Amino acid sequence: MDCNKVGELILSLRKEKGMTQKQLADVMNISDKAISKWERGMGCPDVSLLRELSKVLEVNIEKILLGNLEPNDADGGNMKKLKFYVCPNCGNILTATGEGEVYCCGRKLAGLVPKPADDNHGLTIEEVENDFYITFNHEMTKEHFIGFVAYISYDRVLLIKLYPEQSPEVRFPRMNRGKLYYYCSQHGLWVKDKLI
């Protein structure tokens, strides 16, 4: 750990938050001399303080230790490049339009890789009143169910969360050139490119 880099990052993040050294020190219940020492590269924060520092500065602990916040490449926000993440602990669904580090329940999550729809994870699509009415031939038990369905076009995402013991059906307004993604709790993410 390079204390100079860590200090420069803490200084930058503190100023970004509009905080003085004294204000940051007060929030963390330490002296402002400790903050000054870190920012001058004369020492690094104690391990016991990293969690609170991360919370106050709203930065991942790993990034504080590296002393570097490298920006991701700009992706233009194209929704068709959306990545899905599902937390194995709590079931949270998270998304990102580009590369990122996604965490939930203390775990770093990997982006789900979609597989093309197959017979075991097939679906039926009907047009009803300019909507797509989609049904799945899939069990909906607590152990094995469709967790969400997302309909994605270039500029928007429509996502419907499903729950065990619920009927496996959804309805979306029709969009041009959209893709349908759906998540099985046991077999991962599936995609259907052409709806009709």
Q: Delimit the domains of the chain by residue range.
A: 3-66, 79-192
Which pLDDT score is estimated for 147?
A: 94
Whole-number Cα distances in Å, 79 to 14, 115, 150, 179: 33, 18, 11, 10
Instruction: Say if residues 191 and 118 touch (Cβ distance below 8 Å).
Output: no
Query: Residue 129 and residue 12: Cα distance in Å, rounded?
Result: 54
* CA triple 29-59-152, angle to 5 deg: 145
Q: Which CATH architecture has domain 79-192?
A: Sandwich (2.60)
Name the pTM for this structure.
0.68
Q: Give CATH for domain 3-66.
A: 1.10.260.40
Distance of CA 89 to the CA centre of its chain: 14
Which residues in the chain come in under a pLDDT of 50? none
Digit-coded pLDDT (tens) for 155-170: 889 999 999 989 999 9
Question: Are both 3-66 and 79-192 of the same fold?
Answer: no
